[in-house]
Amino acid sequence: MDLTQILPQFGSFAFTIVSFVVALSIIVAIHEYGHYIVGRWSGIHAEVFSLGFGPVIYSRMDRRGTKWQIAALPFGGYVKFLGDANAASVGAHEVAQEERRRTMLGAPLWARAATVAAGPIFNFILSIFIFTAVILWQGQAADPLTFDTAHPLPPDAVMQLEPGDELVAIAGIPTPSISDFETAQDSLPLEPALDYTVRRNGAETVVKGPWPYPPLVKAVSPSSAAYDAGIQVGDVITGVDGTPIFAFSQLVDAVTASDGRSVVLDVWRDGKTQTFTMSPRRMDLPKADGSFETRWLIGITGGLFFEPQTVQIAPWDAVKAGAGQLWFILTSSISGLQHMITGAISSCNLSGPIGIAQTSGAMAAQGPSSFIWFVAVLSAAVGMLNLFPIPVLDGGHLVFHAYEAVFRRPPSDKALRVLMAAGLTVILSLMIFAVANDLLLCP
C-alpha cells in the first residue's frame, strides 16, 4: 500500500478519534460539573476536578481551593472530594473533625445523595438543552405548508413549484399537516409527476411537481450498508437492480423484498449516475408502543423533495419537544435492553466504545447539526447508564444511600468492598462483551 492510500485512511481514523474525544469530553465535563456544583452547594468541598486521567497536562487552583486539571488520557473524568481515598469516592482518609462536614462521608445523607444524582441529571439537562436549541433553530413548518426551496433532483424530475407557493392540494387531495404528510402519501396515486394545487400571489393554480417523498438521501446511518458502500447525503436513488424508481417507498419495498440479498442501486450525484452494490442488514427498530420490529435496512433516511418555509416555535413548546425526545430515547433504550436480555432482539444492538467512536466520526462528517444532535443522544445514554443500580456507578451509590436511609446506617466497609468488586466485574464484563460486539460478533 502506497502513501496515497495510507494518508486518507489515517486521516479518517484521526477524524473519528478526535470526534469521539470531543463528544465524550463535553458529556463527561457536564456530568462531573453536576457532581461538583451540587456538592459545592451542599457544603461538600471538591479537591480536584479532572477532565481525563493519567499525567496532568494543565492545572490551576481556584480561590475555593479546588484544583482544575486536564489529564493526558481524555476518556473520562472525575471529581475528588475532600476526604476521598481515590477518584471513585470509594473509601476515605482521615480529616480534621472540624472539616468532616465538608467531606462526602461526613455530609448529611441528603447532600451526598443530591451530589451523586446530579451527574446523570446534568446529562439529561444537557440533552434537553441541545434538543430544545436545535428545535428552536430549525423552527416549525408554516401553516399552511409553503414551498421554499427544492433539493437537487435528476433533470427528468418535473418541477414547476416556486418559492412562496402555498400547497392547497396534491392530486386533488387536500394537503395534510407536516406531521401527517408521510402517512398521507399512501392515498396519492403512485406516479412520478403529480398535480399540485397551489396558492400563488393570492390565486389558486395547478402546477406539476415530483412525488412528495422521492428516493432522496436525507441522512445515512453510521455503520450501515449504505454508509459502508459510500452513499452520501443528497444522493438520489434512481433505480434498484435496473428497475427505475421515483418514490422512497419503492426503495423500501425493494430492500424489504431482497431478504438480505445484495441490491444494486443507481445513484444520481452531482449530475452523474453511479452504481453502488450493498447487502441490506437485519435491524431491530423501536415502535411507539415500546416493542420492536425487525426489518431489512440499508441505512438511508428520506424526506420531502423540498424544504418548507418555517416559523419560530414557542420556547415552551420547544422545551416540551426536547424533553419528549429525551423521554423517547430513555424508554426505547430501556425497552431495547429488556428485549436483548430476553433474546427478543439481537445483542448487536449494543455498541461498545469502538462502535460509539465510529458513530461519532460518521455524525461529525455529516455536519455540525448531526454531530451536536448525536452529543445530546449520547449524553442521555450516559446519564441513563450511570443510574443503573450497579456498585461503582452513580446508581449503585444511590442504592447505598437508600439503604442508609432505611436502616439508619451505611453498609459495612466489608460489604462495600465486596459489592464494589462485584460491580467493577460486571462493568468490565459488559465492556468486554461490547468490544467483542464491535470487533468480532457484529462488525
Catalytic residue among 32, 47, 191, 307: 32
CB atoms within 10 A of CB 242: 8
The residues of the chain that CATH labels 2.30.42.10 are 141-210, 219-292
pLDDT in tens, 415-433: 888 888 888 898 888 888 8
Q: Which of 155-164, 235-244, 362-371 has the lowest mean pLDDT?
A: 362-371
Instruction: Tell which phi-psi region holds residue 362, choosing left (phi > 0), alpha (psi between -120 and 50) or beta.
Output: alpha
pLDDT in tens, 233-255: 999 999 999 999 999 999 999 99
pLDDT in tens, 192-218: 999 999 999 999 999 999 999 999 999
Share of the chain above pLDDT 70, in %: 93
Does residue 261 surpass a pLDDT of 80? yes
Mean pLDDT to the nearest integer, 83-105: 72
Superfamily of domain covering 219-292: PDZ domain (2.30.42.10)
Which residues share a beta bridge with 220?
Answer: 300
Instruction: Tell which phi-psi region holds residue 408, choosing left (phi > 0), alpha (psi between -120 and 50) or beta.
Output: left
Q: Which of 118-122, 266-270, 361-365 has the lowest mean pLDDT?
A: 361-365
Does residue 227 surpass a pLDDT of 70? yes
Contact 322, 131 (CB under 8 A): yes
* pLDDT confidence of residue 436: 79
* pLDDT confidence of residue 2: 43
* pLDDT confidence of residue 4: 41
Mean pLDDT to the nearest integer, 59-71: 95
Does residue 7 surpass a pLDDT of 50? no
- 32 part of the active site: yes
Burial call 198-213: b when 16+ CB within 10 Å, e when fewer: beeeeeeeebebbbbb
pLDDT in tens, 373-393: 999 999 999 999 999 999 889
Mean pLDDT to the nearest integer, 295-307: 91
* pLDDT confidence of residue 223: 81
pLDDT in tens, 401-412: 999 999 999 888
Between 13 and 109, the more confident residue is: 109
* pLDDT confidence of residue 6: 39
Tell me the pLDDT of the chain averaged across its residues. Answer: 88
CB atoms within 10 A of CB 71: 19
* pLDDT confidence of residue 9: 45
Contacts with 108 (C-beta within 8 Å, 6 or more apart), sequence order: none
* Rg of the chain in Å (alpha carbons): 26
CB atoms within 10 A of CB 20: 22
* pLDDT confidence of residue 319: 96
CA distance 422 to 292: 32
CA distance 71 to 124: 25
141-210: which CATH number, 2.60.40.3500, 2.30.42.10, 3.30.70.1290, 3.40.50.300?
Answer: 2.30.42.10
* pLDDT confidence of residue 10: 43
* C-alpha closest to that of 35 among 113, 90, 110, 115: 115
Burial call 121-138: b when 16+ CB within 10 Å, e when fewer: bbbbbbbbebbbebbbee
